């Protein structure tokens, strides 16, 4: 264990951390401004696909043209993205939330569409819109097998600091058992893309150990593409709970959770100010983590007289045989009250591997302990 260090570091090579060159500072991203929340639920099924480009006489005026939120992720990230990690094709959706106005895009419509499954898009008008979630949207395990939620770069789902936003759990009887081995089944396959999640809060959630302020997933598969997570929360104490933005337990055949071209800012949780998991592999590509904090204290197992927690300012991973890959990613100005201001990685049987390449780790404070600047690692190997 080492004393806390304030470091500026680019990781591009195995273990030779101090010899790597520094990248340019990452760009500053601006969180979207919230708009008025709508009220009338509208979910249309199987929307037609546009067949032709509008003529000059029918082209929308500048005020009617779609306007996207700022792009998430690291624009300088050069990591190759495998085919299965890319955005899903949503040109022929099964369901469309909204009828072209912000008022038609409601929490009830989102909840109904997610429960029904399939490919889901939004039609809320040309301007960015924030949908205030009045209830958590829950994936039904017997609907799918794919659930794709695509905000088109203009939709923010807000938990309002009161609730978790999105939930999938193959071991939750209320969402229907579909196999006899719920902890390792291939479906549902949940993809969220071109969306912003803000103000999700799982504080007080006790099922499956809690955590996952914006998204909680157990079983099936999860993929996150071109999405932004801002100001999400989960419980502030506890030795192993975490994931202010995303908490994942169990993925089919230990296939990785893909996180691609996405941004995580301002998350707060006992562990994992952005991501958290137990026994789950991750592949994080061309993404950004800034200003996230692990706010618990006492580590894991909890020291006597403490509630435990405080590790993994951005990313917290625990378990046995799992792998974490981080490439083309900026992890900057994250903090942990205990270990791993950027990344906390513990493979209990020392079989797990951590790979970091082409990524900038800068000024991630580990107030308690670390094995490399910003990283606490126990596993088989850490490499490029």
Structural domain range at position 215: 8-12+67-76+88-94+170-383
Please name the residues in contact with 341: beta carbons below 8 A apart, sequence gap of 6 or more. Answer: 4, 313, 314, 334, 335, 364, 365, 366, 367, 370, 374
pTM: 0.84
Q: How high does pLDDT run on average in the chain?
A: 86
Residue 146, both tokens: 């794919």
In this predicted model, which residue has the larger pLDDT, 361 or 3? 361
Mean pLDDT of the region 312-320: 97
User: Which helix (H) or strand (E) element contains residue 324?
Assistant: strand 323-327
Listed range (164-173, 207-216, 261-270, 331-340) with the worst mean pLDDT:
164-173
| Rounded Cα–Cα distance for residues 35 and 344 (Å) | 36
DSSP at 141? T
Q: With 70 as the cut, is the pLDDT of residue 169 above it?
A: yes
In the prediction, which pLDDT does 45 show? 52
Tell me the CA distances in angstroms from 26 to 195, 216, 320, one per residue in order.
21, 28, 33
In the prediction, which pLDDT does 256 show? 97
- Its sign, for the CA torsion 10, 343, 151, 184, is positive
224 part of a folded domain: yes
Torsion of CA 331, 336, 338, 344, to 10 degrees: -30
In the prediction, which pLDDT does 67 show? 75
Beta strands 335-336; 293-294: pairing state: parallel
290 part of a folded domain: yes
Decide if 217 contacts 248 (C-beta within 8 A).
yes
Of 182, 104, 189, 198, the residue nearest 149 (C-alpha)? 189
181 part of a folded domain: yes
Residue 63, classed as helix, strand or coil, is helix
247 part of a folded domain: yes
Q: With 70 as the cut, is the pLDDT of residue 359 above it?
A: yes
139 part of a folded domain: no
31 part of a folded domain: no
In this predicted model, which residue has the larger pLDDT, 31 or 173? 173
135 part of a folded domain: no
Listed range (72-76, 183-187, 256-260, 341-345) with the worst mean pLDDT:
183-187
| Rounded Cα–Cα distance for residues 154 and 32 (Å) | 9
Q: With 80 as the cut, is the pLDDT of residue 378 above it?
A: yes
Listed range (134-143, 270-279, 287-296) with the worst mean pLDDT:
134-143
**65 band by pLDDT with thresholds 50, 70 and 90:** low
**73 band by pLDDT with thresholds 50, 70 and 90:** very high
In the prediction, which pLDDT does 24 show? 32
**194 band by pLDDT with thresholds 50, 70 and 90:** very high
In the prediction, which pLDDT does 312 show? 98
**175 band by pLDDT with thresholds 50, 70 and 90:** confident
Residue 22, classed as helix, strand or coil, is coil
Q: Quote the number of domains for the chain.
A: 1
- Residue written as token pair 């569409």: 113
| Rounded Cα–Cα distance for residues 102 and 115 (Å) | 21
Decide if 31 contacts 230 (C-beta within 8 A).
yes
Q: With 70 as the cut, is the pLDDT of residue 297 above it?
A: yes
Angle at 141 between CA 138 and CA 146, to 5 degrees: 90
Mean pLDDT of the region 340-354: 97
In the prediction, which pLDDT does 349 show? 96
Chain segment 19-63, per-residue pLDDT in tens: 333 333 333 323 333 333 333 345 555 443 333 333 434 445 555
356 part of a folded domain: yes
**183 band by pLDDT with thresholds 50, 70 and 90:** confident
**186 band by pLDDT with thresholds 50, 70 and 90:** confident
DSSP at 49? P
Mean pLDDT of the region 269-295: 98
**89 band by pLDDT with thresholds 50, 70 and 90:** very high
């Amino acid at each position: 264990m080492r004393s806390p260090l304030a470091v500026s570091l680019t990781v591009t090579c195995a273990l030779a951390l101090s010899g790597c060159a520094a990248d340019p500072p990452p760009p500053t991203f601006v969180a979207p401004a919230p708009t008025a929340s709508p009220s009338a639920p509208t979910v249309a099924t199987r929307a037609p696909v546009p067949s032709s480009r509008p003529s000059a006489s029918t082209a929308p005026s500048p005020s009617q043209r779609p306007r996207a939120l700022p792009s998430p992720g690291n624009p300088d990230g050069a990591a190759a993205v495998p085919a299965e990690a890319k955005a899903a094709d949503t040109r022929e959706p099964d369901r469309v939330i909204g009828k072209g106005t912000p008022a038609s895009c409601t929490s009830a419509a989102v909840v109904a569409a997610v429960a029904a499954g399939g490919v889901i898009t939004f039609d809320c008008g040309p301007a960015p819109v924030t949908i205030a979630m009045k209830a958590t949207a829950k994936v039904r395990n017997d609907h799918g097998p794919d659930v794709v939620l695509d905000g088109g770069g203009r939709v923010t789902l807000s938990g309002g600091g009161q609730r978790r936003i999105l939930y999938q759990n193959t071991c939750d009887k209320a969402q229907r058992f579909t196999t006899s081995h719920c902890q390792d089944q291939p479906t549902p396959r949940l993809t969220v893309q071109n969306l912003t999640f803000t103000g999700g809060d799982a504080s007080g959630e006790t099922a499956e150990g809690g955590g996952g302020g914006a998204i909680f997933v157990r079983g099936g598969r999860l993929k996150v593409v071109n999405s932004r997570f801002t100001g999400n929360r989960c419980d502030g104490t506890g030795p192993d709970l975490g994931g202010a933005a995303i908490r994942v337990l169990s993925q089919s055949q230990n296939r990785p959770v893909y996180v691609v071209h996405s941004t995580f800012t301002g998350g707060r949780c006992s562990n994992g100010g952005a991501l958290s998991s137990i026994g789950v592999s991750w592949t994080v590509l061309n993404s950004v983590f800034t200003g996230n904090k692990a706010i618990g204290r006492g580590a894991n197992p909890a020291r006597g007289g403490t509630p435990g927690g405080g590790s993994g300012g951005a990313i917290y991973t625990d378990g046995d045989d799992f792998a974490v890959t981080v490439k083309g990613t900026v992890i900057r100005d994250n903090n942990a009250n205990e270990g791993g201001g950027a990344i906390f990685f513990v493979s209990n049987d020392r079989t797990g591997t951590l790979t970091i390449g082409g990524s900038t780790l800068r000024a991630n404070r580990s107030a308690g302990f670390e094995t490399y600047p910003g990283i606490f690692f126990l596993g088989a190997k850490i490499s490029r």
